[in-house]
Amino acid sequence: MAFNQQDTECMALALKLSKLGRGSVGANPMVGCVITRDDNIIAQDYHRHYGESHAEVNALDQINHKAHNCNVYVTLEPCSHQGKTPPCVKALINANVSKVFVATLDSNPKVSGSGVRLLRENGIEVEVGLLENAALEVNRGFFKRMKTGLPFVTSKIAMSLDGRIAMKNGQSKWITSDASRNDVQKLRSQNQAILTGSGTVLNDNPMLTVRIQELNSNPLRVVIDSNNQITDKSLNIFSNDSETLILNESNTKILENGKLNLESALETIGSLGINNILLEAGSGLNGAMMDAGLIDEFVIYTAPIILGSDAKPMMQIPLKEMSEKISLKIIELTQVADDIKIRAVPL
């Protein structure tokens, strides 16, 4: 179907609204909803908090659930099952809506097409696919976890122009600018968890918290600790700012080399309802995650400095031949103060 400009603008607004739920909807997807009558917007809202009403119900509340001759634009297929809240499909049917535009189907097996089917069975016209790619991007972590059980992994790296992340003695404060480090705080707030390795914890003693108060986000801190080294409860990783999960042989599969099975570690994290996780680690864990094919995206802050050949590389991956090179696709390139911010995905 060819969607008109009004339809596209309404769904674009619903997508913008959906992003307001980032950091507060937990394991749920971010969803926005817009309701129109005679081409005029009469209600708009989004899923605000985990366990509370979904976007459709919040929008219907604004018009007392009286939606005769109304079009509804929703960024994800309305749920058809009883979860922490009643099914949104039932609310739309009871409100007597005329037509529902759905950006994309829900990959949750409890929904997955049944929401659209129930709407149609009750005489409501449904169109699917309006701005679908944008909707898939908004909830990329949710869709990945539903399909694979694994969260979407973004690796954040701060490096010099010659690809180094720390001096040989471990010094890394500070490679990038204040502006880049503030941008990292925003990046942390967009993820439900922050993943690091025991080496980073012992060497740097990081907090791994969101230090911009108005962002109001406290991601779970997760540490890969293959050798059970994290025992000192006075480390910053155990501060009261957020919860901390230590992954070791007691709760994660171990490989023959004595290292944690990283895919198993991500499965454990995914089982907690974590859709998006930010990897902030040294070259060892970054290299191991990349080698295992577990990094979905890179956000690399590159500073205009040179640290030299003795400094630590971005990743420990001992490639020997040019044919072994790892290719990335740059999807965004911006300047942050004097630094260059690169978003890239593995090919």
Residue positions forming the annotated binding site for NADP(+):
158, 174, 200, 204, 226, 282-288
Annotated catalytic residues are 56
Phi, psi of 212 (to 5 degrees): -100, 105
Strands (E) located in the chain? 32-37, 40-46, 70-74, 99-102, 125-128, 152-160, 164-166, 193-197, 220-224, 244-247, 276-279, 297-303, 312-313, 328-336, 339-346
User: What DSSP string describes 168-222?
Assistant: TTS--TTSS-HHHHHHHHHHHHTSSEEEEEHHHHHHH----S---GGG---PEEE
**Nearest one of 92, 85, 146, 94 to 116, comparing CA atoms:** 92
Binding site for Zn(2+), residues? 54, 79, 88
Beta carbons within 10 angstroms of residue 21's beta carbon = 21
Within 8 A by CB and 6+ apart from 20, the residues are 32, 46, 48
Closest CA to 36 of 118, 122, 98, 88: 98
What are the binding residues? 54, 79, 88, 158, 172, 174, 188, 200, 204, 208, 211, 226, 280, 282-288
- Tell me, rounded to whole angstroms, the distance of Cα 294 from its chain centroid: 14
Please check whether residue 52 is in contact with residue 83, taking contact to mean a CB–CB distance below 8 angstroms.
Answer: no
| Distance of alpha carbon 263 from alpha carbon 102, whole angstroms | 33
Give the single-character DSSP code of 75: S
**Residues flagged as binding site for substrate:** 172, 188, 208, 211, 280
Cα separation, 248 vs 263, in Å, equals 13
